[in-house]
Amino acid sequence: MTLTKSLYLSFLQCPLLFYLSSHKQLPSSTLSDQHKQDQGYAFEEQVKKLYPADCFQQTFQTDDLMVRADLLVDNDLYEIKSTTSVKPHHIPDLAFQKHVIEKTGKKINKCFIIHLNKEYIKQGEIEPEKLIRIEEVTEKVNLIDNIEENIKLIQKITTKPKPNISKGCNKPYICPLKKDCWSTLPENNVLTLTNWRLYWKLLEEGIEDISNIPNETKLNIKDNIIVNSIKENKPHIDKENIKEFLNKLTYPLYHFDFETFDTAVPLFNKSRPYQKIPFQYSLHIEQDNGKTEHKEFLSLGNDPRPDLLKQMKHDLQTKGDIVVYNKSFEISVMKKLIIDFPEEKEWLSEAIERVVDLADVFRPFYYYNKSQKGSYSIKKILPAVTGKDYSHLEISNGAEASIKYFYTYIEPKLKEDIKEDLLKYCKLDTEGMVWIMGELRKICK
């Protein structure tokens, strides 16, 4: 077996991941995997405009070790990463490359990470020299001294290792094996607790099931709620705090939800690397007599923001609370719109002041059902509170909606194919909030 950089890095994350990678037994790539890879390629194409072609993708191999360097200029080694900063896992990546290259007899002087400049704003054609940032990481790379030791450990892996549930399941990336490995855990396992330091400690001690947590274990308020909801087999309901939330609402209620997409290399003027670009919203307007009206926006054209802003200003009117789920997201999108379209500042600022967060009921577990598994995401809350879910939809989560929308810019013929799926998905987000609110009112009667 030839040990490549990708195989070496998979070992650092998990021996089982390495084994299945080396035997080509990994699950099929997801749409998200493909999108991430495509963003990397797009950024690399911009970097290639700045250096001679023969400096890229040089291959070095010796002693069953092989690397292909992203960029080698004289004796300086560069790794191209489509992130907006240097990440800890970039260092062992470069260290392995340097180790293999130097075993071939070529000396590496300095090591660098080329990454995206998050402050870059597109105006006209992309300017590669402004899009990139270059950071030297030579000292950090030289501190890595366990490569030979790791190679020896890798060589000892001759049979399939057992699953090892650990922090490595999520770092530096969510492991493609996580779903299968975690499926072996009990339904009510300690990883559904909110205190991650505690749950990893319990797991390391061999305690997997919440029912086996020692009585003397100190739990925070939310974890106590999780444990008690399992023991009592009924939802936890704090009627007083839920009533307080409901009583503060100002009608009509504008149940509102954005869908956004982002790219490493900005597509539009007045946009930055990985900026959340809103392309769609759903709006359910609820009167105090229970009557609701649905409005929506979806752009399948060029920059969706100007048309979105025009319709959004009209649809949101000027009075009544704008109800969202996890307001930090919607507010951050609106604030970026103010920066990029300052002429819209007045009404957007007023809209931000009207935002109310439905998650304020569920984040502190004023309502908690054991089916939530420690989560307060709307994908867990909707079935827990109303019995309805997203399983019947072709697009069932925001990440999928974002990626499928992005691909309409690459393949315009996809637009009509996914239009209805996008509309149905986004509509359910706001309709779901109306349903949830209705159930909360019933609970508090």
198 and 284 housed in the same domain: no
Could you tell me how far CA 214 lies from the centroid of its own chain?
34
How high is the pLDDT of residue 440?
97
Q: What range does the domain containing 62 cover?
A: 3-155
CA-based nearest residue to 127, from 52, 49, 73: 49
Which of 173-187, 226-240, 383-397 has the least mean pLDDT?
A: 383-397
Distance from C-alpha of 81 to C-alpha of 47, rounded to nearest angstrom? 10
Give the chain's domain count. Answer: 3
User: Which of the listed residues 155, 170, 202 is the one where a domain comes to its end?
Assistant: 155
18-31 pLDDT per residue, tens: 999 999 999 998 88
298 and 191 housed in the same domain: no
Distance from C-alpha of 239 to C-alpha of 350, rounded to nearest angstrom? 31
Q: Does residue 27 belong to any structural domain of this protein?
A: yes
382-415 pLDDT per residue, tens: 999 999 998 888 777 778 888 888 887 777 777 7
Distance from C-alpha of 18 to C-alpha of 15, rounded to nearest angstrom? 5
How high is the pLDDT of residue 5?
97
Q: Does residue 235 belong to any structural domain of this protein?
A: no
**Cβ–Cβ under 8 Å, residues 344 and 337:** yes
Q: Does residue 45 belong to any structural domain of this protein?
A: yes
* Residue 141 in tokens: 């790379």
**Cβ–Cβ under 8 Å, residues 275 and 266:** yes
pLDDT over 90 (residue 128)? yes
How high is the pLDDT of residue 97?
98
69 and 205 housed in the same domain: no
How high is the pLDDT of residue 108?
98
215 and 251 housed in the same domain: no
Distance from C-alpha of 224 to C-alpha of 194, rounded to nearest angstrom? 10
Collect all residues with Cβ–Cβ distance below 8 Å to 147 and sequence separation of at least 6. Answer: 95, 96, 99
7 and 123 housed in the same domain: yes
**Cβ–Cβ under 8 Å, residues 194 and 220:** yes
Q: What is the pTM of this model?
A: 0.92
How high is the pLDDT of residue 391?
86
Could you tell me how far CA 90 lies from the centroid of its own chain?
19
**Cβ–Cβ under 8 Å, residues 298 and 279:** yes
408 and 317 housed in the same domain: yes
* Residue 144 in tokens: 């890595």
320: region left, alpha or beta (phi > 0 left; psi from -120 to 50 alpha):
left
Q: From the CB of residue 256, how many other CB atoms can be counted at a distance below 10 Å?
A: 26
* Residue 346 in tokens: 């007045």
pLDDT over 90 (residue 301)? no
Q: What is the CATH number of the domain that holds 110?
A: 3.90.320.10
Q: Does residue 236 belong to any structural domain of this protein?
A: no
pLDDT over 90 (residue 343)? yes
404 and 300 housed in the same domain: yes
363 and 273 housed in the same domain: yes
Say which DSSP state 209 is in.
Answer: B
Distance from C-alpha of 144 to C-alpha of 12, rounded to nearest angstrom? 13
69-122 pLDDT per residue, tens: 999 999 999 999 999 999 999 999 999 999 999 999 999 999 999 999 999 999
Handedness of CA 256, 440, 357, 246 (dihedral sign): positive
Q: Does residue 124 belong to any structural domain of this protein?
A: yes
**Cβ–Cβ under 8 Å, residues 287 and 251:** yes
Q: What is the CATH number of the domain that holds 251?
A: 3.30.420.10
**Cβ–Cβ under 8 Å, residues 203 and 165:** yes
User: Which of the listed residues 134, 155, 176 is the one where a domain comes to its end?
Assistant: 155
252-279 pLDDT per residue, tens: 999 999 999 999 999 999 999 999 999 9
Pairing of strands 236-237, 367-368: antiparallel
Collect all residues with Cβ–Cβ distance below 8 Å to 440 and sequence separation of at least 6. Answer: 242, 245, 246, 361, 367, 385
Distance from C-alpha of 331 to C-alpha of 322, rounded to nearest angstrom? 11
Distance from C-alpha of 206 to C-alpha of 440, rounded to nearest angstrom? 39
Q: Which residue has the tokens 């007083």?
A: 240
145 and 81 housed in the same domain: yes
316 and 423 housed in the same domain: yes
193 and 284 housed in the same domain: no
Mean pLDDT of the chain: 95
Burial of 24 (0-12, 13-18, 19+ CB in 10 A): exposed
How high is the pLDDT of residue 30?
86
How high is the pLDDT of residue 397?
79
